[in-house]
Amino acid sequence: MNCIIIDDELTARTIINKLSSNVPDINVVEEFPNAIQAIKYLNQNTVDLIFLDIHMPDFTGFDFIQTLKNPPKIILTTSDANFAIQAFEYDCIVDYLVKPITQERFNKALDKAKSATFTSKATTNPTEEDSGVNDLYVNIDRRLIKIDIPSIYLVEAKGDYIHIKTETKNYTVHSTLKKIHDKLPDSLFLKIHRSYIINVDKIIDIEDNSVLIKKDVIPVSRSNRPELMKRLNLL
Amino acid sequence: MEQPNLSYINTLSGGDKEFEAQLLDVVKKEFPTEKETYYKNLNNENYKLAAENVHKLKHKISILGLSKSYDIAINYENNLLDHNTDLKEEFDNILIVITNYLDNL
């Protein structure tokens, strides 16, 4: 299996090279300190597998994947477990290694890469409504935490993170409002502001341009107000 | 204060002394540059960039077996993303400990 390593940190590339050298059927053909150089290489060459760091300056691992028309299998390598949830959105990503990487975990990832066959997203990633899924898994501190979707009453965007508020607990996750919106059923959730998604069933009252949901008063943007009013069973 | 160790590197090397020396050379070369970039961004109040530097330094912290320090770095990185410098002193102490350790290797 021919592979390349993309990581801006020489330490990380050195470690992955070492880990690869202990596995007989892996051949590291090139390594790159940035995604741009790797794209140039891949324009002329094909590989079976890429070890890809997510957190690189200027051009992230996810930016890189989006430039590939027919991506090979990819194993993400990162110091940040919070990106795992985003990784699941790409069929080409076969595993996700959190640094520092052990040989045992590395070997497992390679086993996955060898056995992985991925098909188009359309056939492998049905929406939550289509599949009747009631749970959402979020990655927090290297653990995938299950959240009961109907218990979510508010999602707030805050920089590179989102705050998910449920009946019992709140969670901070590295993701975007758009990504979680895509995972939540439209029948229950509505984006009412560029920074807020609410569970319509949990609304207590609406006043002018704000919604009271639990104890939170959330602004409703002018453009989202008509859709909100449509969803209400008005007398 | 938690002290660095070579446990991860030794396990990784499987006794390959040449690799251990090579990896430590790389760490010794990269760490001061990353540290300097972090301080530069922090002093210029470029907190997002400083958070990215902390993110990168986290790997070195973990390689050197500093598990508690790693947790501090995670929280400090999150703080910086919120333009909050809480834990700066603790993080600076971690950098000092690593600097001293690498200097004496």
pTM recorded for the entire structure: 0.65
| Model confidence band, residue B5 (pLDDT cutoffs 50, 70, 90) | very high
Answer whether residue B1 is part of any domain.
no
Q: Which amino acid is at B58?
A: K
| Model confidence band, residue A130 (pLDDT cutoffs 50, 70, 90) | very low
A223 sits in the region (left: phi over 0; alpha: psi -120 to 50; else beta) called alpha
- Partners of A100 on chain B (C-beta within 8 Å) are 8, 59, 62-63
Contact A159 B82 (CB under 8 A): yes
Can you give the residue range of the structural domain that contains B42? Answer: 7-103
Contact A11 B23 (CB under 8 A): yes
- pLDDT tens track for A100-128: 999 999 999 999 998 876 543 323 233 44
Which is nearest to B61 in space by CA: B11, B10, B19, B101?
A: B101
Residue of B nearest to A21 (CA): B13
DSSP B8-50: HHHHHHTT-HHHHHHHHHHHHHHHHHHHHHHHHHHHTT-HHHH
| Model confidence band, residue A75 (pLDDT cutoffs 50, 70, 90) | very high
In the predicted model, what is the mean pLDDT of chain A?
85
Q: Which of A8, A10, A160 sits opposite B26 (nearest CB)?
A: A10
**Mean local confidence (pLDDT), B81-102:** 96
| Model confidence band, residue A133 (pLDDT cutoffs 50, 70, 90) | low
Q: Which domains does chain A have, with CATH numbers?
A: 2-117 (3.40.50.2300), 149-231 (2.40.50.1020)
Q: Which of A18, A100, A141 sits opposite B62 (nearest CB)?
A: A100
Answer whether residue B72 is part of any domain.
yes
In the prediction, which pLDDT does A85 show? Answer: 66
- pLDDT tens track for A180-223: 998 898 888 999 999 999 999 899 988 878 899 988 899 998 88
- Partners of A80 on chain B (C-beta within 8 Å) are 55
- pLDDT tens track for A144-170: 888 989 999 999 998 888 999 998 889
Q: Which of A14, A102, A160 sits opposite B23 (nearest CB)?
A: A14
Look at chain B and report how many structural domains it folds into: 1
- Partners of A102 on chain B (C-beta within 8 Å) are 11-12
- CA–CA separation, A29 vs A172, rounded Å? 39
In the prediction, which pLDDT does A99 show? Answer: 92
| Model confidence band, residue A224 (pLDDT cutoffs 50, 70, 90) | confident
Contact B62 A79 (CB under 8 A): yes
Residue of B nearest to A53 (CA): B56
* ipTM metric: 0.94
Nearest chain B CA: its distance from A11 CA (Å)? 6
In the prediction, which pLDDT does A101 show? Answer: 95
In the prediction, which pLDDT does A83 show? Answer: 66
Residue of A nearest to B61 (CA): A100
In the prediction, which pLDDT does A115 show? Answer: 84
Q: Which of A15, A141, A161 sits opposite B12 (nearest CB)?
A: A15
The tokens describing A200, both together, are: 């319509």
**Mean local confidence (pLDDT), A5-13:** 96
Which is nearest to A54 in space by CA: A97, A104, A1?
A: A97
- pLDDT tens track for B38-75: 999 999 999 999 999 999 999 999 999 999 999 999 99
Interface list for chain B against chain A, based on CB atoms closer than 8 Å:
8, 11-14, 16, 19, 22-23, 26-27, 29-30, 52, 55-56, 58-60, 62-63, 74, 81-82
In the prediction, which pLDDT does A126 show? Answer: 39
Nearest chain A CA: its distance from B52 CA (Å)? 8
Which of these ranges, A118-122, A140-144, B21-25, has the smallest mean pLDDT? A118-122
In the prediction, which pLDDT does A186 show? Answer: 86
In the prediction, which pLDDT does A191 show? Answer: 92
In the prediction, which pLDDT does A111 show? Answer: 92
With contact defined as beta carbons under 8 Å apart, do A162 and A139 qualify? Answer: no
Q: Which of B26, B52, B58 sits opposite A14 (nearest CB)?
A: B26
Answer whether residue B11 is part of any domain.
yes
Mutate to test the interface with A, among B6, B7, B11, B12 (most CBs of A within 10 A): B12
With contact defined as beta carbons under 8 Å apart, do A127 and A136 qualify? Answer: no
Cα dihedral A52, A53, A57, A61 in deg (nearest 10):
50
Predicted confidence (pLDDT) at residue A129 exceeds the cutoff of 90: no
**Mean local confidence (pLDDT), B13-37:** 96
Answer whether residue B2 is part of any domain.
no
Answer whether residue B61 is part of any domain.
yes
- Partners of A57 on chain B (C-beta within 8 Å) are 52
